[in-house]
Amino acid sequence: MFSEQIDQSILKEIYDKAISVSDFGKVATYIPELSLMSPNLFSLSCVISESGEIVETGDTDTYFTMQSISKILSLSYAIEKLGMDKVFKSVDMEPTADSFNSLMRLEMASPIPANPFMNAGAIVICSILQKELGRGAFNEITSFCELFTGVKPKLNQKVFNSEMSTADRNKSLAYFLNSTGLLMDSVENSLDLYIKLCSLECTTLDLAKIADVLSCGGKSSFTGKHPLSFETVKTIMGIMITCGLYNGSGEFAVRVGIPAKSGVSGGILAVAPGRMGIGVFSPPLDPKGNSLAGFYALELLSDRQNLRGVKILD
């Protein structure tokens, strides 16, 4: 089964179908600034691997914050600079049925976070980077992001302040991790870096450009830079397919079938290996914290373009 060449008309068809399900979701309100996003926004961007061709539809000029999608950047940077052994000494790489900000598993099972895409795991990664890079950690990671997108992302100060003022659960996670000796830097420094990275601004095209690097084995079709080794790409995509949509990752793997990472602002970054990098954004979320319309759009795109790479026999 061969997929047709993607163009804007295909994305527009997907947009028209996907936007209808957003009415069944709810914009995140536990971070007050995120609740101000219009539930009617929708954007879908693709960067075609190798050629670097860009195909987009919807509200493509809209900026939103990366939230948990930024965990791809912090984890990738940590692996590239510090190595697998050091990074995965303090965090595991296993999927979990728990919510993304769960504290229960740390107490009931193991103090080591199940994976680096859960909040606890990402806070540990940020603590490691803080210890290694000190005050320059945030600047180093945003400069690293520029290798993917060609633009250094900006901090949304309003979202950062809003998230900091309501970060009780993340503070609880950080203090618990600190009590078990897993944080490499102070609670305050680790949380500051974690929440700053979550508050980085992006568009769906920025997400598609980051995904394109993963699609191309570590090299950007857009910038020509080579920010990731193939070993890092394999690791990141393996964790994305098993853990990228929190406790909705299994359903996503069945319905969409490609590696992806979501964020509670409504963004999803997805990778069709060797085919394209994809970014989608729609603020209304399902109960697990994933964009409803974004999820559905990726399912439609995967089916339409046969992104799973499975040949259907008649």
Given the residues 194, 261, 262, 302, the one annotated as active site = 194
Determine whether 194 is an active site residue.
Answer: yes
Catalytic annotation, pick one of 47, 55, 264, 280? 264
> Strand, helix or coil at 269?
strand
Angle at 71 between CA 65 and CA 77, to 5 degrees: 120
Asked about 68 being catalytic, the answer comes back as yes
**Alpha-carbon distances of 185 from 6, 124, 192, rounded to whole Å:** 46, 9, 11
Backbone angles phi, psi at 111, to 5 degrees: -70, -15
Per the residue annotation, which of 15, 77, 246, 296 is the catalytic one? Answer: 246
Active site residue 264: yes
Structure tokens at 11: 């994305």
Token pair 């964790």 is found at: 239
- Please give the backbone phi and psi of residue 248, each rounded to the nearest 5 degrees, phi first: -105, 10
Task: Name the active-site residue from 49, 68, 215, 302.
Answer: 68
178-214 as b/e: b if 16+ CB within 10 A: beeebbbbebebbbbbbbbbbbbebbbbbbbbbbbbb
| Known active-site residue 175 | no
- 280 within 8 A of 297, measured Cβ to Cβ: yes
Q: Identify the three-state secondary structure at position 54.
A: strand
Q: Which helix (H) or strand (E) holds 189?
A: helix 187-198
Q: What are phi and psi of 109, to 5 degrees?
A: -110, -70
Q: Which of the residues 15, 71, 77, 262 is marked catalytic?
A: 71
What is the 3 state secondary structure string of 193-248? HHHHHHCEEECHHHHHHHHHHHHCCCCCCCCCCCCCCHHHHHHHHHHHHHHCCHHH
Q: Is residue 71 flagged as an active site residue?
A: yes
Catalytic residues: 68, 71, 194, 246, 264
